[in-house]
Structure 1
């Protein structure tokens, strides 16, 4: 059996399309919605229009990882899917993913190909971060194209996970990540436990992108950037050598003055490097005491 978990935050109409597509193309799947205290009537819509869906209407925004953990406790399938509320099926792509995993018991998780609303492909796999990749980012140099899957992590957009593999690493996501980096952390843990990660290019999922976060990453608000920065440094502390995590911390610290000056010279109400520099500094020093950023605005 396939269990599909959809964590939602104020994306009612995307969620409606998402659930409609899941019910149409994966009719035998267990559907679970975890609503993170939406204020747009999402939970009420699910209760009224999709009464067969297991609905968990939370009283506060738990974040992506903790929200999925709520759904995982209710999941009964041998395979579980982390499925974004702004994603849609056009065919039985998830069943195709399961078939690929059934054919190879060493695979712990797979991801279908992603296609944007414009019909263009989206990236579903990324190289694991390293000090070198962070240095190239800082210099605004192109990073290497995704190489072998041995060194790649899979996005959490439509991630199909073998329940046995998930149980082998504790059965849940690390809910210290409120948003961002939890999928990279999950992939790293599965790899460390000896499971393979694969893409299933023959299966495709439509993904709008950025619905819960208010837009594309290039327009990320400072309060969301704080969680991106927090997640990055937690990921390095959890999954890379200590010296490398410390070097990335220092790299971000050195970059704060540059971002501050750039932001002051070219301020934008929507995207301010100065604001990002400020929250970066707060996250960096907060990490020394174990402090987390405040919840994003409106969460």
Structure 2
């Protein structure tokens, strides 16, 4: 039987966990191709990848950059995104493939991602009232977006909506892609039996300065690319106002994403990218569709 899917695993300094991921892929019930993208690891990861199809990048391009770097190599109807610290159950890929085969309107299928203790990390992504992507732990069949740590997409549709936003580096590349899929008229489904175990935070440090920088910046970039103009402008203005007023507040929040220096850096990076982002916005879709998607999904 020929493979329907290519599984892309992006790794950076994944020596401690990538073997478990790749072993679990070998045990999948559904035949597939695996491409490992090594983001210039310097911890011995490369030595563990013998026997696998590997694309080694000369520098660390992040999760989004790694996915984007090999999309042109994918020659199967489906492409899976899988974190290098995720361990899928044997039926994982088959369940995702079956879900897309049965639902022609769905362009992406998201997994049940479980933490080490068995609790649920994500069964899909919701869009909050202020435009954040939020992991769902309970969901029906259809969800706004997929969690990029373990999902399956139609390859031709992904390419048609612009591929993976490589410049995001890390975080929100999945929610941005879900936005573009929906703007093009496609749906995203949650597949409960497609289960993976995830060592959350093994590859990145949630709560770190970099984590908050990428999250805050990429949320704003996503909204500027995809959301209704009023929503994008409001959220950018709100971020700016909070940042400007922070030094005047006596009891400012102590979280890393409320530090003035970090927020100033985020604003600088967004403004630097703004001309290119506005050009990208014009290529994505019409304002009417943006409003409809926002009305249907924001705050649900």
TM-score after normalising by structure 2: 0.81
Find the counterpart in structure 2 of residue 118 from structure 1: 117
Are the equivalent residues in 1 in contact too, given 2:111–2:147 (CA < 8 A)?
no
Q: CA deviation at 1:211?
A: 1.6
Are the equivalent residues in 2 in contact too, given 1:33–1:71 (CA < 8 A)?
no
Q: CA deviation at 1:202?
A: 1.8
Find the counterpart in structure 2 of residue 15 from structure 1: 18
Please give the residue correspondences for 1:1-299 in structure 2 after superposition, counting only pairs within 5 Å. 1=3, 2-26=5-29, 28-47=31-50, 51=51, 53-131=52-130, 152-170=144-162, 172-214=163-205, 216=206, 220-256=207-243, 272=256, 276-290=259-273
How many residue pairs align between the two structures?
A: 272
Alignment CA distance shift 1:90-1:288 (3 Å): closer
Alignment CA distance shift 1:83-1:245 (3 Å): same
Are the equivalent residues in 2 in contact too, given 1:65–1:179 (CA < 8 A)?
yes
Alignment CA distance shift 1:149-1:11 (3 Å): same
Alignment CA distance shift 1:265-1:253 (3 Å): closer
Alignment CA distance shift 1:45-1:27 (3 Å): farther
Alignment CA distance shift 1:45-1:207 (3 Å): same
CA distance in 1, matches of 2:7, 2:84: 11
Q: Secondary structure at the match of 1:66?
A: helix
Are the equivalent residues in 2 in contact too, given 1:146–1:152 (CA < 8 A)?
no
Are the equivalent residues in 2 in contact too, given 1:110–1:200 (CA < 8 A)?
yes
Q: CA deviation at 1:126?
A: 2.1
Provide the aligned C-alpha RMSD in A.
Answer: 2.9
Q: Secondary structure at the match of 1:176?
A: helix
Q: Secondary structure at the match of 1:76?
A: coil
Alignment CA distance shift 1:144-1:115 (3 Å): closer
TM-score after normalising by structure 1: 0.81
Find the counterpart in structure 2 of residue 296 from structure 1: none
Are the equivalent residues in 2 in contact too, given 1:111–1:154 (CA < 8 A)?
yes
Are the equivalent residues in 1 in contact too, given 2:123–2:135 (CA < 8 A)?
no
Q: Secondary structure at the match of 2:157?
A: helix
CA distance in 2, matches of 1:181, 1:95: 26
